[in-house]
Every structure is written in structure tokens, then in C-alpha cells.
Structure 1
């Protein structure tokens, strides 16, 4: 089977080299896009995908590709569900903007008016506005706290409480920092105002009126859905199905699962000022307010040589690109990556859904489609991104091999295994327990990740090689903290995809 796959990849590559030399850019969407996508799915090892292009109020392309789960024959269709991750945020921001248009709240209301329990650094957050929650300017750095909040058993109330315990990195409103728990907090204002949960409000006021009949708001509903894809990731270089993440404690930040058919209806409405036919489903004013720039994210450099500022609105990223104003967002959760792009003045919308979190094709395809419509040079973004992806993967594999080679040396830890065992606590996260495994190996179990564990293998001294049972959390080196000849704590680090800073856990006496 592997030999067949390699041969197919080689054939596609050879054909595409000659094809790129004679490509007619003006006919790319009509004549070449299908071939381009199929080739890329093979090269990237993407099991399934779905793509939609909307132009001038009509669907130009809506097509599903590949399979729902590796090793099984079921094909993806236009109604198959994918988790859309942070593309959920635009729905949450739009819902709150709709409530503002209906004069049920103002985005400039203080959060404490609706959630008096909301705090920052342990103090009442009396200066924070709803708008601040929706544009990531509370003073946290990107993904701060997400190991505690993401894919855990914490309730929404627990997340809001723990968000108030985080120490901000920047002064309030001075720097952009992507904060998932802030969007959860914003979403929890909806039931206070309407008497309906976030998920019920979205279903009744957005999903149902738009005809998004297959879309579900909660990750708990995804495994129950009959027509659903399965998430995949790379485990030791091998693409494998993985469990669905359970992120309903952060649902307004990333919980929605949808199909390409349903997402086309969302994009068509957004590009039609909220109308479906003659029906005004979403107020135009609500759509417009989400597209107003609030923060500077940073500078972005495109492959065509342009460098522009990337801004953030309310649940949307905003860019200028070759004279075109882009409204866009990416979404990523365990096993899924997606993108939604709107180019309002060109009446263009693009949705891309994939069921593996190990690809940049979801991003490459968006630029390829836009360049075709903007009559720009053909660049083959997919191959360019793939070369970078493979290079990064090779660097990671070399580093990991060095650690595994060190483990194979059977280096003894500085203390007997029993010295490292016991209960450990972190003020933000809570507790975890370390027990002794075989030989000098250890195992960590976490209070709020009941289905996840970490296998620790000695690297000599007080350093251990950590392998997570959840592969999306990565691999790392965990050092134990030792003072006065005894173990006092351990430093835990998950993949940057989840959180960038480490957690220090203190050993209980």
C-alpha cells in the first residue's frame, strides 16, 4: 500500500510540473482547481476535505473530497460535518452584534453588568467591555491558560473563574493576544440577556434561519452525528485517527461543527448583508460592526512580496492584499483545520475544511483561489507550503530521535523513582499525580484531563522525556525542580499549538 501511494505522489508531481508551465490562470477555477486539490490532498496526506467558492451571490464550486476516516471507504459529501474550531468565533461575535442591533445590549457595555463574577487578576474587571472580549485585548499573550481550559472537564463557570486568576502579560488594551477564554466569557453573556444558552440562541437565530440544518454547536454532539468526518493527526510520522476533542467548556470560542453545504449558506448571507433572498436574517449593521478593526495583530508577508498589517475585528481577521480587503479567520482543533475568507467588494467567499491538523493546505488553497480571481501570477502555494512543512517536520524528527536515543541509554535518574511520585499542584490548573511505572519510568495523571496521561522516561539527572497519550499535546522534556536534595516540583510543557508557556507544579508535602 505504501509503495502505491509513493508512486501516485510521484506521478502527480511530474504531471504538475509540466502543467504549471502551461497553466491558463484565467481558467484555473473552472478547468484546473479539481486536479490541483486532488493532487494536494495526496501530497499532504489529507484524508478528507470540502471546499466552497461563492462569487456574486452564487455557488461557483461546492465539492467534497476523500474519505471520512483513514482505512474506511465512507466518502466525504457536502453534508459531512467537520469541526471548524475558531471559525466559531465569528458566529459568537455576530450573535452579540445582533443583540446590540436589537438594543438588548451594547458591545460597549461593561462585562460586569452581566457577569459580576468576572475578574482579572483576582479583581473585579470593571473596565472591560464586551467588545474587549471579542477582539483579544485583555492583556494576555496568545493561548495563555489554554492547557487548563482546552479539552478538559472544566465547566464554563470554572473557565471564567480561572481566567480571573491568570496574570496578564501586557497592560490592558495595549497589545493583541489571542484569548479563547475571553470568547467563552462573551458567549456566556447571551443567556443572561436572552434567557437562552449560547448554543440554543445560535440555533434559533442563525443556524435555523439560514438553513444550516446539519450544523451543531457543541463538540459533544459531533460523535452522535450520523454524517461526520473523523479527526486525524500524525503520530510518529504516521497519519492516524484520533478522538474528538471535548471543548464545550470553551464552546463559544471553538465548538461548532458544520458541513460545506451549511457553511456556504453562512458565507452567502454574510456577503449579502445578512439577507437570504428577500429575508433579512442577520442585520447588516451587526455584520458591519464585526468587520471594524479593533487591534493590530502584527505584520504579514505574502509570497508575492507584499507586507501588510494584519488587524483584528470582532471574531474576524482583517488584511489588505493587492488592493483587496479581506475578512478572514482560520480554525484549528484536534484533528481539524479550516479557513473562511470573505472579500466583500469582490463578492467572493471561500471555505475550506480538512480533517487533519497536520497541513497548511487549508491556507495555501485560499491564496491560490484568490490569486486566480484577482488575475495574479500562479505560485503553487501548496508545494511551497509543503516544502516548509516537510523541513520543519524533519527538524522535529531529528530532535526527537536524539531524545529517544538518550532514553535508550537507560540513564538513571538522580533519585529513586519513589522520590518523584506523589501529588503536585498548580494554582491555576489544579492537581496531578505522578506514579511509578516499569523500571524507572513514571506516569502523570491530571485532575482535569481524565482521559489523558503522560509517560515519563529518564534522561539522566532530573530530566525526563515526556510522551503524551494525546498526540496533539506533543512531546517534551520535563525537568523536576530540586532544592536542598529533595524534589519540590516539576515543569510541564505542552505543544505551542495549545499553550506557549510552561506550568510549574509544586509537590505536596
Structure 2
């Protein structure tokens, strides 16, 4: 419903020229922020409907080398993988391959909780919306310790839920990873092959893949960087705060969260993300039909903590989670959003059905600059919209 040409209700002007102007200014802001924090490499894209307004790339794949980031450079998406998993899962459910009301124990019978009968109450829809009732980030620490998924799942019988399913929000990675079992058992194909056949290939996402093996085989992959230290420069910024130089260290790609492919296993380039954004805006209905998009972005559980997020809190009035997407009211406009963070990488993606605009950014460093820049982009867009509305009102 919200995807049925909702943007036609807006004033009859195009954002295309405004977005070009916004991009020109925003690119300078990004370049300055990356320089201030010595961030090795980054890329972003802006789309308007099915048009790519901009793809901008910055820096290098590896701080030690001189190969530049380009539109096809592959980054880890981290939790920006979740919208892909939710899309494939919901797509298959709409095709009657299984039901989102199925209990997860139907496919993962070894998943048990300390409270008798509690695991059987958790349905696939609760996994998709992080409303399973499990404690947030249950057993992520065991992924960091390189435990196998089989071993981690058997550990759940030591904990009890903190609420009934659908009654509270608790972000998960291990639980999200169990969606792979559902898909592979019912489809008799690997998760990565199905994602490639049903989403990557039809959308022309030529650099997108799943898993560490494919990532490491490419010659055009961004290398992860973690912060080593911050060094005083003796200079002050305009607010009188010390300016520090950030020193980043190149590290190896870690396999931990690749073990939960639906949660954090996707790799992609910024050119791929542009195509993914346009599809989610409704411009590839043969791949992502409106019925599917509507189900994915229907609010399922309130996420009040998001209202206090640094950089976002002055702009968001409502926050929910749907199926694999966060759903915000940003300055009065609906914004469908997700972020990602694994060792050495950050990723942000968002689109507004109301404005018919999408934005994504990828970084090969663990810098919170990405949240700051994403917020600044959407603030620029909504401010431009307000100015345009006012101009039209004055002209009438």
C-alpha cells in the first residue's frame, strides 16, 4: 500500500536536480570527515527511483597499499545482510514453501530453552522481527570465540526468555542464523545459492556474494581496519576540542559472523547497493513485488532505544523493526533503514518510500562517522523538501 506510488502525493517537482546539488556538498563533507578520522576507504550511493544520482568512492582498499576503492570494490555488509535474509525468507513464505507462523523448532529441533515449552512458542516471524523474547545478542560472544553454530545452538538450553514472543525487542545474530536451516531444509539448496538465484542475479548485483571464501578470492576487496590509537595533534576544532589523529591497523577478515550467513554473511559493492535500493523502492517488481515489500516494512515491534541513538535522536519520532528492516519516522518521512558492524567494517543503508530516494554507505574501518554522515545526508534531503514545499505554497 505504501509503495503504490505514494510519492505522487507529494508536490509535483523532482528531486533530481536538488539531489545533484546535495551530493556535491555532501561529497565534500564526506571527504573532510574521512580525512579528519584518517579512514582508509569508503563509498556511497544516492538513488532516486530507478536512477543512480551518484556513486562516490574514497581512499584505498588497504591503508598499506595504493589500490583505490572503486564502484565494484567489495565490502562486508555485516548486519546489512539481514534485509537480504528477510526478503528471501518472506518471499519463500509467500510462495507457500513454509509458513512464518511455523515454530523454529520445526526446523531446528535441537534449539531448546531452559523454560519448558518456551522454544516451541518462537515462530519464524519472531526471528525475522527480533521479537523472539530472547535476551539481546544471545551468545554472540561464542561466535567471537569461534564456536560452531551446532555447538552454540545447543547452549541455549541454559537460558530462559526475558519475555513472551512478540512482547519485547531483542536483537539477535545467532537466532537469525537459524533461518538458513529453514531455507535449506525446505528448498534443498544452499542459502547462498538461493540468494544468488533469487536476488543477486535477477537484480544484476554482479559483485554480491555470501561467505568468506568468495570474499577472499576477489582481488578487489576492501580490507578491514580497526582503531589502534588516537594521537593528539595539538590543534583545536571550532568548538575548542582537541583534534586527534586516528591510527588504523589492517587486520585479517574474521570468520566468526560469517557462520551466521543470514545475519551477517553478505559481501557487496556500492554499485550492487544502488541496484538493491532501487529494487526496494519498487522498481523491480518482477523480483521484489509490492506485496513482498509491504510485508517486509510493516512495523512489528517497537524499538524505543533507537529514539536515543547518537546523531539520529534529534530527527526520529518513531522507531520499529519489521522483517529485517528498521522503520523510522525521520522528520515526518518514513525511512526504512539498517546498519552493519563487524570487525573492521561499517555499513549503512536507508530508503524513503515517501521521497522515492535511497542512500547507502560502506566503510572499511570501524568508524562511527558513518552514522553521523548518514544522518547528515537525510537531514539535507528533508530540509530540501521543506524548502521546496514552502516555495510551492508561496507560488500558489
User: What range is the shorter-chain TM-score in?
Assistant: 0.7 to 0.9
**Structure 1 equivalent of residue 8 of structure 2:** none
Paired position in structure 1 for 2:344: 335
1:260 to 1:306, Cα distance in 2 relative to 1, 3 A? closer
Structure-2 change in CA distance of 1:303 and 1:292 (3 Å)? closer
Give the Cα separation in 1 of the matches to 2:270 and 2:56: 8
Say which structure is richer in strand: 1
Secondary structure of residue in 2 paired with 1:229: coil
Show the 5 A alignment for 1:71-470: 71-121=64-114, 123=116, 125-150=119-144, 152-154=146-148, 156-237=149-230, 238-246=247-255, 247-272=257-282, 274-275=284-285, 280-299=286-305, 300-301=307-308, 305-306=314-315, 308-357=317-366, 359-375=367-383
Q: Secondary structure, in 3 states, of the residue corresponding to 2:171?
A: coil
Aligned-partner Cα distance in 2 for 1:327–1:186? 22
In 2: Cα distance, 1:102 partner to 1:188 partner: 18
Q: TM-score, normalised by structure 2?
A: 0.82
3-state SS in 2 of match to 1:264: helix
Higher relative contact order (CA 8 A, sep 6+): 2
2: CA distance between counterparts of 1:250 and 1:226?
24
Alpha-carbon displacement from aligned partner over 1:448-493 (angstroms, at most 9, x marks no partner): xxxxxxxxxxxxxxxxxxxxxxxxxxxxxxxxxxxxxxxxxxxxxx
Per-residue deviation, residues 23-75 of structure 1 (Å, max 9, x unmatched): xx987424322221111110122100010000132001112111010121110
SS at match of 1:345: coil
1:151 to 1:285, Cα distance in 2 relative to 1, 3 A: farther
SS in structure 2 of the partner of residue 177 of structure 1:
coil
CA distance in structure 1 between the partners assigned to 2:19 and 2:71 by the alignment: 26
Q: TM-score w.r.t. structure 1 length?
A: 0.65
How far did residue 217 of structure 1 move?
0.6
**Preserved contact between residue 26 and residue 375 of structure 1 (Cα < 8 Å):** no
Q: Shift of the alpha carbon at 1:170? A: 3.6
Give the direction of change, closer, same or farther, for the CA distance of 1:48–1:215 in structure 2 (3 Å limit). Answer: same
Between stretches 111-120 and 206-215, larger displacement belongs to 111-120
Contact 2:180 2:191 (C-alpha < 8 Å) held by counterparts:
yes
Is 1:56 matched with 2:49?
A: yes
Cα distance in structure 1, aligned partners of 2:213 and 2:180: 17
Would the aligned equivalents of 1:180 and 1:253 in 2 still touch at CA under 8 Å? Answer: yes
Please report how far the alpha carbon of residue 151 of structure 1 lies from its aligned counterpart in structure 2 after TM superposition.
6.1
- Summarize the Cα distance change of 1:123–1:252 in structure 2 as closer, same or farther, 3 Å threshold: farther
| TM-fit CA distance, 1:307 | 5.3
* Mapped partners of 2:254, 2:56: distance in 1: 26
User: Residues 174, 272 of structure 1: CA spacing in aligned structure 2 closer, same or farther, 3 A cutoff?
Assistant: closer
Return the offset for 1:115.
Answer: 2.8
CA deviations 1:359-391 (Å, max 9, x no partner) are 22211222222222222599xxxxxxxxxxxxx
Is the alpha carbon distance of 1:132 and 1:26 closer, same or farther for their aligned partners in structure 2, counting shifts above 3 Å? closer
Instruction: Report the alpha carbon displacement of residue 171 of structure 1 after superposing the two structures with TM.
Output: 4.1
Say which SS state the counterpart of residue 174 (structure 1) adopts: coil
Structure 2: which 5+ residue stretches go unaligned? 1-17, 231-246, 387-396
How far residue 314 of structure 1 moved from its aligned partner, in angstroms, is: 0.9
Aligned partners of 1:236 and 1:350: how far apart in 2? 30
Contact 2:317 2:331 in 1 (8 A): no
Task: Pick the structure with greater CA Rg.
Answer: 1
Q: Give the Cα separation in 2 of the matches to 1:84 and 1:303.
A: 21
CA contact (8 A) 2:27 2:56 kept: no
Change (3 A) 1:244 1:311: same
Measured against aligned partners, the alpha-carbon deviations of 1:250-302 in whole angstroms (never above 9, x if no partner) come to 12100111100111111111112543xxxx01232222211111111115156
* Equivalent pair of 2:282/2:289 in contact (CA under 8 Å): no
Task: Tell me how far apart the structure 1 counterparts of residues 82 and 20 of structure 2 sit (CA, whole Å).
Answer: 34
Task: Name whichever structure is richer in helix by fraction.
Answer: 2
Q: Check the 8 A contact 2:345/2:364 in 1, yes or no.
A: yes
Q: Please, what is the CA RMSD of the aligned residues?
A: 2.2
- Paired positions, count: 348
Q: 27, 30, 43: which one pairs with 1:37? A: 30
